[in-house]
Structure 1
Amino acid sequence: MATAADVLRIATYAAPLTRDGPGLLLRDILRGDDPQVTAHAAIIAQADPDLLVLTDFDYDLDSIALRAFAALFDPPYPYLFAARPNTGMPTGQDIDRNGRLGEPRDAQGYGLFNGQGGMAILSRLPIDAGGVTDLSALLWRDLPGADLPVLDGGPFFAPAVLDVLRLSTTGHWIVPVLPPDAPPFAIMAYAASPPAFDGPERRNIRRNRDELRLWEQVLAGHFGPVPDDFVITGNTNLDPQRGKGDRAAMAAFLAHPLVQDPLAGQPTADWRAIGLGKLRVSYVVPSRGWQVVDARVVWPVPDGDPAFGAHHLVWVDLAR
C-alpha cells in the first residue's frame, strides 16, 4: 500500500485566467484583489496538487505572470513551464474564408493576441524543461490520417493555408518530470479546439478529433519512444457521452490499453446557463503503470458564480 509520501496529486484546471490584452493578467495578479484571480487561487490551494496544468492562462515571454501567480501559494511552486501557444498566433491567411483577414479566427488558434489563453505547468517536482518534446508546430496536414475539412466535394483549405496551419489549437507538450528518489514520468498536456462554431465543413469538430488523434499517434510510438509512465491531461473539450464532437473517439481513447480512466462519467464543466448542461471536458488520464489512490472533480462553489467560470478543477492521486 502506498504511503502519503509516495502519492502524487496531478491536476488540471481550465480556469479562465485570461484577459483581452497582453500584460493585463499580470496587472490583475499583482493588484492582489482581483476576485477572479483570488477565487481560482483559493480553489488550487484547497486542492493542493503537486503538479497542476492550467489550460487557459495568458502567456508572456518571460513567464512573469506565471511566476507571480505561482508565488501566491504556500508552499510555492518552484518549477514552472510554459511555451508560446498557438492561440492568437497570426497565420497571414483567411482561415475561415469570410473575406476578412487577421481576425482572431484566422490565427493558429483563436485568440485576440498571441499568448491569450495558453497553457502553463506549476510543479513542486523538478521539470526537465530542456527535455520537453513540443509538438505544437506540427502542421495539421502532416498528422498521419489527418481528417481535413471538405466543402462541396473539395478541400476547404487552400494550399497556402495547409502550408501554415498547425494542428494544435493551443499546444501539445510532452514534459519530463523528475521526482526525487523515484523514476521519471511524462506529463502530456494539451488544450483542444471546441468542436463547435462550425460551418458545413465541420472544421472544428475535425480538428478537435485530430488533436486527440495526435496523442493516439504518440502512444503508438510514431513520435519517439513512449514513456514508461505518463499522464495525459488538459482540456479536450470533448465528452465521451454528451455534447458535440466525436464522442465515440473520446470513449475509445479512454479505453486505450495503455491508459486508465479514474473519473469515468463525472462532468467537469457546467454550461447549463447556455443550454449545454454539464459535460466532461477536462481529464487526468494516467498510464496503466500507476496505482490510482483517489480522484475527484472539485465543485465547491454555488451555481452561477461568474468569478469561477464553467470549468472545475480535476485531480488524481497516483502512486507507483
Structure 2
Amino acid sequence: MSQATAGQILAQTASSDTERFKKIAAIIQHVRPDVLLLCEFDHPGQGGDDGALDNFCCHYLGVAQPVESGSTTTPIAYPYRYLPPTNTGLLSDVDFNRDGKCTLPEDGYGFGEHHGHYGFVILSRYPLDESQMRSWQHFLWRDMPGNQMPSAYYSAEAKDVFRLSSKNHIALPIIVEDRTIHLLCCHPTPPVFDGEEKRNLRRNHDELRLLVDIIDNADYLYDDKGVQAGLASTESFIVMGDLNADSIDGDGSKSAIKQLLHHPRINHTVSSGKKTPKSVGSRFVRLWQTRIGRASEWTHLSGLRLDYVLPSADLSVTNSGVFWPDRKDPMRSLVVDDKGRERPQAGSDHRLVWIDIRL
C-alpha cells in the first residue's frame, strides 16, 4: 500500500472499491489477528495518520468482503493503532551517492520517493503503551561496533549522519490484561539493488544485528531519547517484520538472520523447530531459480522465507501458519488474480504470517 507520490494511498482508501485492498482486508478478516504489523503502508514520515489507515480500517476492514465461495468475511476492528516515524524518504543534507546533488530517493536516510514512503503500521485489539515506546530510528550506523558499513563508498560527512535503520526499529509495549509484551518491529532494507560496494546487503546484515543487540541489551546502544539500553532480560517480546532475509536461499547474508533465529531468547519451536509457520499453497508458485529451502516455509513469491513473527522463549506458542491457501481452498482467490495467477498486483508479493500465543 505504497505509491511514489505522497497522498495517493490516502486518496485510494477514501472509497471501498480498490480490489487489491479488498483482498488484503479479506485475508486479515479471515485470519483475525489480535495484533497486526503491516509493512509498506504510506503515512506521514514524522509518524501519525493522515487518514489513510483510518480509511482502510473503516472502508475495508470494517466492511464484509466477498470470497470465491459466495460467502463473505466478517468485519474486524482495531481500536489501537500506532504509525511510527520513518527514515524512508527523509532527505538528508548530505550527498550520500556523490552525484553532486541531494535528491530522493538515493539521498534519503531510507530509500523512498517521499517522507513516509514504505512505512509500517501496527494495529491492535489490545492497548498499546505509547508512553513507554522506544525507538532506534536515529542510531548512527558508524556507532555499531564492528559494523559492515562500506567505508570506501560513503564520505566522512556521510558517515557522521548516516542512520542504520532504513525505516525504524521500535519496541512498543502491548498490554494484555496484567501482562506486558514488547513488539520489536522493523523492516530492514532488501540486500539487493546496490553496486560492488554491497551497501544494501551490508545494511540489511547490520539492521538484523541491531535486532539481536536490542534483545541482548548491548552496552553500546542508545535509543532516540538517549537511553543507553535495549530490552531487559526479564521482558517478553515478539519480533515482527519483513526482515528481507532467508537463512538458506536468496542474495542476503545468512549469518545475521541465523543469529536471530537461533538466539537463546527466541522461541526455537517457531524460529527453526516444529512450529515454524507453514502453508500448503506455496508449492504451486512458479520460480525462475532453484531453491533449497522448504517450500512450506516460504512467505514470498520468490520462494523465500522473508517474513517473521518470533516470540521470546518465555511465551507459549500453540499454533502458527502462513496464509497461502491450497488450490482447492475457496480462499485461494485472495492471493491470485482473475486468471488464477500469483502476482504481486493481485494483492501482495508477501504472505501473512501468524502465530497463536497462550498467556
One fold, TM greater than 0.5? yes
> Counterpart of 2:246?
239
Decide which of 54, 63, 68 is 2:55's aligned counterpart.
68
CA contact (8 A) 1:55 1:235 kept: yes
TM-score normalised by length of structure 2: 0.78
Decide which of 209, 213, 228 is 1:217's aligned counterpart.
213
CA contact (8 A) 2:318 2:357 kept: yes
Deviation at 1:288, TM superposition (A): 0.4
CA–CA distance in structure 2, aligned partners of residues 34 and 267 of structure 1: 29
Alignment of 1:239-278 (within 5 A): 239-261=246-268, 262=270, 264=272, 275=289, 277-278=302-303
Decide which of 307, 314, 317 is 1:292's aligned counterpart.
317
Matched to 1:18, the amino acid is S
Q: Structure 2: any 5+ residue segments left out of the alignment?
A: 63-74, 219-228, 291-301, 326-334
Matched, 1:313 2:352: yes
CA contact (8 A) 2:29 2:76 kept: no
CA–CA distance in structure 2, aligned partners of residues 272 and 235 of structure 1: 21
Alignment of 1:25-40 (within 5 A): 25-40=9-24
> Counterpart of 1:169?
166
CA contact (8 A) 2:87 2:168 kept: yes
Higher mean C-alpha displacement, 21-30 vs 171-180:
21-30
Matched, 1:18 2:2: yes
Q: How many residues align?
A: 299
Deviation at 1:99, TM superposition (A): 4.2
Matched, 1:78 2:79: yes
Q: Deviations over 1:17-58 (max 9, x none)?
A: 111212111111112101121111111111110000111110
CA contact (8 A) 2:213 2:230 kept: no
Q: Secondary structure at the match of 2:131?
A: helix
Q: Deviations over 1:140-184 (max 9, x none)?
A: 11123221114xxxx32111111221101111000000112x311
> Counterpart of 2:294?
none
Deviation at 1:272, TM superposition (A): 5.2
1:271 to 1:213, Cα distance in 2 relative to 1, 3 A: farther
Q: Supply the RMSD in Å over aligned alpha carbons.
A: 2.1
How much identity, in percent, do the aligned residues show?
32
Alignment of 1:97-246 (within 5 A): 97-150=98-151, 155-180=152-177, 182-222=178-218, 223-226=229-232, 228-246=235-253
Q: Deviations over 1:65-109 (max 9, x none)?
A: 122222333331000001121111101222233445313122111
Structure with greater strand percent: 1
Q: Structure 1: any 5+ residue segments left out of the alignment?
A: 1-16
CA contact (8 A) 2:321 2:354 kept: yes
Q: Secondary structure at the match of 1:116?
A: coil
Q: Does 1 or 2 have the higher relative contact order (CA < 8 Å, sep 6+)?
A: 1
CA–CA distance in structure 2, aligned partners of residues 69 and 255 of structure 1: 36
1:50 to 1:266, Cα distance in 2 relative to 1, 3 A: closer
